């Protein structure tokens, strides 16, 4: 089992604070495993098993609860009185009026509460309104490259592992299958994709136009790293379909995809004007394995965009708001605004070994007249400083996280 060290450390820091810990993320990214790892930590710290209650509402044995009151009563019967206790509710959105259950447990003394959900609806619904200011969200992603490497302790070829990471999957179970039954990885990913689309999108929103939904997903996956707007999605799909597709329908479907954590939208930021450009976004897919199994293009032709995808999610893991930068001098792949008022700038290129490519990739960064850190991430092997811009091998950069935790 790969230890999710960064997330686990955050839970340890938040232990016994008067806040609900809400762990969100796409299905099968490891939320239940993270809660199990934290429960094991609690046991090593002297918490007795009877002071821990853990319920997964996707398990058949927990599907017979009629409503939130039945769950609430069941939990209270299990817990000892007058002792600090820990309650873990997995996929809590499956409970009718789950927000009332969470609120009722939160106000009980001596209960430290942890919940998970596989859809942004969890926090955009009544729960987010009801518990405003009383919860902290921890957003879980599939394995980082550093975590992925730790799943293959006998392999020391990080270049090979990185190619594997880009072309297969970073979901925990898919990673396990890569070790034990690599031929089953794609089968697993197709099943996972179907579950996300059917349960978190089609069933939740009572959709009937599955073909339309699938066409939009295909378009987004094929457009990773490219600027996308509802208008150009609509125009492109009208070329391949006789079905009438409205601007509002596309907007609605894009929201469903992002709420299920299948894709992540990134806003464009005008560097000179220091303002957001609202109409267009770039979209990145939560796992490149999902992109690969649905891809209609040759998966080897968009390596640069796939590398960009990997960097985007690593930046999310490391904290801060991530934007795409635009200026008169070109595009900066990523601008990261940190909580401590620090800004970082990142340019991503598969290679910048030839002078023309290097000049192009550096030009946007050089036009930014401030002293904040600027990076050029490539798969080249040289790590050098060029006029204050740090050129770093992307694999070395990804593994920095492993070395510091």
Co-location of 180 and 89 in the same domain: no
How sure is the predictor about 214, in pLDDT bands with cuts at 50, 70 and 90?
A: very high
Q: Is residue 258 part of a domain?
A: yes
Q: Is the pLDDT of residue 73 over 80?
A: yes
**Residue 376 forms beta bridges with which residues?**
347, 391
Please check whether residues 116 and 180 belong to one and the same domain.
Answer: no
Q: What is the pTM of this model?
A: 0.93
First-to-last C-alpha distance (Å) of the chain: 17
Instruction: Please give the residue range of the domain that contains residue 271.
Output: 173-403
Chain centroid to Cα 282, Å, comes to: 15
- Clarify whether residues 60 and 181 are in a common domain: no
pLDDT of residue 398: 98
The pLDDT, as a whole number, for residue 405 is 40
Give the mean pLDDT of 10-15. 98
Question: Is 70 contained in some domain?
Answer: yes
For residue 288, the tally of other CB atoms under 10 A from its CB is 26
Structural domain includes residue 165: no
- Nearest by Cα to 265 from 291, 286, 283, 290: 283
Domain boundary among 95, 113, 139: 139
- Say if 48 falls within a structural domain: yes
163 domain-assigned: no
Of 35-44, 191-200, 237-246, the least confident: 237-246
The per-residue pLDDT of the chain, averaged, comes to: 91
Do 127 and 199 have their domain in common? no
Same domain, 365 and 256: yes
- Same-domain status, 81 and 223: no
Query: Residue 300 pLDDT > 80, yes or no?
Result: no
pLDDT at residue number 125: 63
Choose between 66 and 31: higher pLDDT. Answer: 31
Is the domain of 321 the same as that of 373? Answer: yes
For 332, the token pair is 């900066």
- Comparing 105-119, 120-134, 164-178, 246-260, which segment has the lowest mean pLDDT? 120-134
- 37 domain residue, yes or no: yes
Q: Is the pLDDT of residue 278 over 80?
A: no
Average pLDDT over residues 205-212: 88
In-domain check, residue 162: no
**Contacts of residue 76, Cβ cutoff 8 Å, sequence gap at least 6:** 108
**Is residue 178 pLDDT above 50, yes or no?**
yes
Among 88-92, 294-298, 320-324, the range scoring the smallest mean pLDDT is 294-298
Reported as a single tens digit per residue, the pLDDT across 369-404 is: 899 999 999 999 999 999 999 999 999 999 986 444
**What is the rounded average pLDDT of the residues 121-128?**
70
pLDDT (mean) for 174-190: 96
CA angle 122, 84, 22 (to 5 degrees): 15
Distance CA 331, CA 324 (A): 8
Same domain, 394 and 322: yes
Q: List the CATH number of the domain containing 27.
A: 3.40.50.300
Which of 139, 163, 181 is the last residue before a domain boundary? 139
- Given 97, 120, 139, the domain boundary residue is 139
The pLDDT value given to residue 297: 53
Residue 93's pLDDT is: 86
Q: Is residue 246 part of a domain?
A: yes
DSSP 182: G
User: What secondary structure letter does DSSP report for 61?
Assistant: G
Q: Compute and round to an integer the Cα radius of gyration of the chain.
A: 22
Most trustworthy range by pLDDT among 115-119, 188-192, 265-269, 327-331 = 188-192
pLDDT of residue 263: 97
Tell me, what's the pLDDT at 404? 43
- Please tell me whether residues 118 and 264 are part of one structural domain: no
| 184 and 127 share one domain | no
Would you say residue 204 has pLDDT above 50?
Answer: yes
Q: Which residue did the predictor score with more confidence, 108 or 405?
A: 108
Q: How many domains does the chain have?
A: 2
pLDDT of residue 298: 55
Average pLDDT over residues 38-43: 98
Query: In this predicted model, what pLDDT tens digit does every residue of 135-157 receive, in sequence order?
Result: 999 999 999 999 999 999 999 99
> Is residue 17 located within the same domain as residue 120?
yes
Q: Are residues 271 and 378 in the same domain?
A: yes
Instruction: Return all residues near 273 (Cβ < 8 A) that are at least 6 apart.
Output: none
Whether the predicted pLDDT of 82 surpasses 70: yes
Determine the average pLDDT of the residues in 7-13: 97
């Amino acid at each position: 089992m790969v230890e999710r060290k960064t997330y686990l450390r955050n839970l340890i820091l938040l232990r016994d604070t008067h806040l609900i810990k809400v762990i969100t993320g796409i299905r099968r990214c490891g939320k239940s495993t993270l809660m199990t790892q934290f429960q094991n930590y609690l046991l090593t710290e002297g918490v007795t098993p009877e002071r821990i209650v853990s319920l997964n509402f996707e398990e058949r044995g927990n599907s017979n609860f009629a409503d939130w009151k039945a769950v609430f009563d069941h939990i209270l019967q299990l817990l000892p009185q007058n002792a600090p206790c820990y309650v873990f509710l997995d996929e809590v959105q499956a409970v009718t009026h789950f927000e009332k259950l969470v609120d009722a447990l939160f106000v009980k003394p001596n209960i430290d509460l942890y919940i998970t959900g596989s859809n942004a609806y969890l926090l955009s619904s009544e729960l987010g309104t009801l518990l405003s200011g009383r919860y902290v969200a921890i957003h879980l992603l599939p394995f980082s490259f550093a975590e992925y490497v730790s799943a293959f302790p006998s392999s020391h070829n990080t270049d090979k592992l990185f190619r594997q990471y880009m072309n297969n999957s970073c979901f925990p179970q898919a990673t396990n299958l890569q070790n034990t039954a690599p031929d089953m990885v794609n089968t697993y990913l197709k099943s996972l994709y179907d579950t996300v689309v059917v349960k978190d999108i089609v069933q939740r929103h009572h959709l009937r136009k599955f073909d339309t939904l699938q066409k939009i997903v295909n378009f987004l996956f094929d457009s990773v790293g490219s600027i996308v707007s509802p208008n150009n999605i609509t125009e492109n799909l009208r070329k391949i379909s006789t079905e009438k597709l409205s601007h509002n329908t596309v907007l609605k479907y894009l929201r469903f995809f992002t709420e299920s954590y299948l894709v992540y939208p990134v806003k464009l930021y005008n560097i000179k004007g220091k303002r957001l450009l609202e109409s267009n976004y770039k979209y990145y897919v939560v796992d490149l394995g999902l992109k690969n199994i649905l891809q209609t293009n040759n998966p080897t032709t968009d390596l640069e965009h796939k590398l960009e995808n990997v960097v985007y999610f690593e930046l999310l893991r490391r904290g801060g708001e991530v934007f795409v930068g635009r200026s008169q001098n070109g595009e900066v792949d990523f601008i990261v605004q940190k909580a401590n008022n620090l800004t970082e700038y990142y340019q991503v290129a598969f290679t910048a070994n030839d002078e023309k490519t290097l000049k192009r990739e550096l030009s946007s960064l050089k036009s930014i007249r401030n002293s904040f850190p600027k990076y050029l991430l490539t798969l080249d092997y040289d790590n050098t400083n060029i006029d204050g811009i740090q050129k770093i091998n992307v694999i070395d950069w990804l593994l920095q996280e492993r070395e510091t935790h």
